[in-house]
Amino acid sequence: MSAKTGIKSAEILLHLDLVCKGYGSGPKQFLAVKDISLDLKAGEFVSLLGPSGCGKSTLLRIVTGLNTATSGTVQYRGEALKGINPHATIVFQTFALFPWLTVEENVEIALKARGVPSSVRQERARKLIDIIGLDGFESAYPRELSSGMRQKVGFARALAVEPELLCLDEPFSALDILSAESLRGELMELWLNKSINSQAILMVTHNIEEAVLMADRIVVMGKDPGRIVSEIQVSLRHPRHRKDVSFQRLVDSVYAAVAGQTRPETESLGTAPGQPGATRRLPRALLNQLAGLVEKLSDEHGRADLYRIAGELSLELDDLLPIVEAGGLLGFLSVQEGDLLLALLGQTYAEASILARKEMLAGRVLRMPVIAWIYESLRRDENHRLAWEYFLDKLQADFGNRAEDQLDIAISWGRHAELFAYDDDTGELYLE
């Protein structure tokens, strides 16, 4: 049932052309997604994959009409989208069930909003609850259900209105592993058997295996700004098996596509805040996590598969990538074809004593323009003390609404490397 074997001249349901979404205006404008062009055909299951902050959820909201694009074309069946897309529904990551309505009422309310008379409503809701395997739970409240069952209700409610385009916003990420796996299987069964009336599925996820397991096409997104970096066709036959070599190979290449985008270029550390030119953003990682990763790599003799190491450390891609990025920025490690390589510097660090480590770290961290700038500002001040707001103010020119986040990371790194400290009571940074 992949795009190739599907309907002969598949209709284009969704057409996006150069879609941008920005927040704020002027030089501080922050682009959530930039120049997205994408077509979705009938019969396709497409997955939007990328690290957090790459705008994949924003894109999903633009497609459904919950959010509007700042510029570009959004068409559904050849018509420009105005307001809520009447042909689409969403299954939400956090279920979005009404806690005060029972399972049946939660499904029925979607039909009620469309004006379906009450007798038909009840019948249809019961049937759907039966299909998803929740019969017996019609009069239960969501809080009485497990998370897996709750998401089933989420699916039933979305399917009740028989949407042409079914949008899934990380629908399995709030579930435990077993429930997620079984629900994935059940959804695929319904989809492949055409037991549901939806023509196409668009799923947002940051789970690479999930995308490879389910989708016909994977659209990989990168961040800063959110954009499409590559598209990967998945022509594996269903049912797909995680242990298959071809499956593993595909996962590896998708991993490389995602991780490759966050590969740091040492030459692009950027300029100091306030100076012309872009300033390199600090990744959202803790330095002690990086120390852990470096030690792990050292144990693995300096080379390890990214995908495997994520599994062994039980880290989600979203959590691992910033650490890898930080390691790259500091020159401790690098990424090559989906593998993590420990650099010489990293090897030295892993073998050093605690004291030596601090010294190394201080030297490396000072290479970051943001941190060097904070350190210099503090040194130039006669009391070696400056208010937090002072830095925030200046950082806003470079980072806009992410300035606070950046300052927090810089403080955490500076503290860890014992470059400077922060007094929470007075709200000041100071040299020790």
Partner 1 sequence: MKQLYYKPAFPPRPAFTIGDALILLGLAAILYGGIRLAFDAPSVVSGPEISLSPWALPWYALLSIGRMAIAFFLSLLFSLFYGYAAARNPGARKVLLPVLDVLQCVPILSFLPVVLLSLTAILPEQFASEISAIVLIFTSQAWNITFSYYQSLTTIPSELQEASDIFRFSSWLRFKELELPFAATGLIWNSMMSWAGGWFFLMAAEIFHVGSYDFRLPGLGSYLKTAAAQGDIMAVLAGTGVLILIIVLLDQFIWRPLLAWADKFKLEMVEGSAEPSSWFLDILYRSWLMDFFQRKMAPLNEWMDQTSREKEATHPAPVLSLNEKRPLWLLALLIIGLIAIVYGGFMAIAMMMTISINDWIELGIGILATLSRVFSSLLIAMLWTIPVGVAIGTNRRLAKLLQPLVQVVAAIPATALFPVLLLALLRVYGGLNIAAIALMLMGTQWYLLFNVIAGAAAIPQDLRFTADLLGLSVLDRWRNLIIPSIFPYIITGSITASCGAWNASVVAEYVEFGGKTYATTGIGATIARATDTGNYALLLAATLVMVISVILINQLFWQRLYYLAEERYRME
| Cα angle, residue 68 at apex, residues 106 and 96 outer, rounded to 5° | 20
Please identify, using beta-carbon distances, which residue of 66 and 360 lies nearer to partner 1.
66
Measured from the CB of residue 394, what is the shortest distance to partner 1 in angstroms? 23
Q: Cβ of 372: how many Cβ atoms within 10 Å?
A: 16
Contact between residue 258 and residue 208 where contact means Cβ atoms under 8 Å apart: yes
Residue 153 or 368: which CB sits closer to partner 1?
153
Cβ proximity of 333 and 341 under 8 Å? yes
**Joined tokens for residue 75:** 């068409």
Distances (CA, A) of 230 to 50, 72, 209: 11, 20, 17
Neighbours of 200 (CB within 10 A): 26
DSSP summary character for residue 425:
T
- Identity of the residue, 93 or 406, whose beta carbon is nearer to partner 1 in the bound complex: 93
Strand partners, 167: 90, 202
Nearer to partner 1, 57 or 377 (CB): 57
Which residues are at the interface with partner 1 (CB under 8 A)? Answer: 61, 64, 66, 83-84, 86, 88-90, 92-96, 98-101, 109-110, 112-115, 118, 141-144, 150, 157, 161, 425
Q: Closer CB to partner 1, residue 267 or residue 425?
A: 425
Least distance from C-beta 426 to partner 1, angstroms? 12
Tokens of 63: 């497609």
- Minimum distance from CB of 115 to partner 1 (Å)? 5
Q: Counting beta carbons within 10 angstroms of the beta carbon of residue 431, is it exposed (0 to 12), middle (13 to 18) or buried (19 or more)?
A: middle
- Cβ proximity to partner 1, 86 vs 274, nearer residue: 86
User: What's the min distance (Å) between Cβ of 139 and partner 1?
Assistant: 13
**Beta carbon nearer to partner 1, 126 or 358:** 126
Residue whose entry in the numeric block shows the structure tokens 């955490």: 412
Structure tokens at 331: 């020159």
Question: What is the closest distance, in whole angstroms, from the C-beta atom of residue 95 to partner 1 in the complex?
Answer: 8
The structure tokens listed for 109 are: 């309310």
Min dist CB 422 to partner 1, Å, is 15
- The rounded radius of gyration (Å) of the Cα atoms in the chain is 25
Cβ within 8 Å of residue 221, ≥6 positions away: 48, 49, 50, 54, 55, 56, 59, 227, 228, 229
Closest separation between CB of residue 143 and partner 1, Å? 5
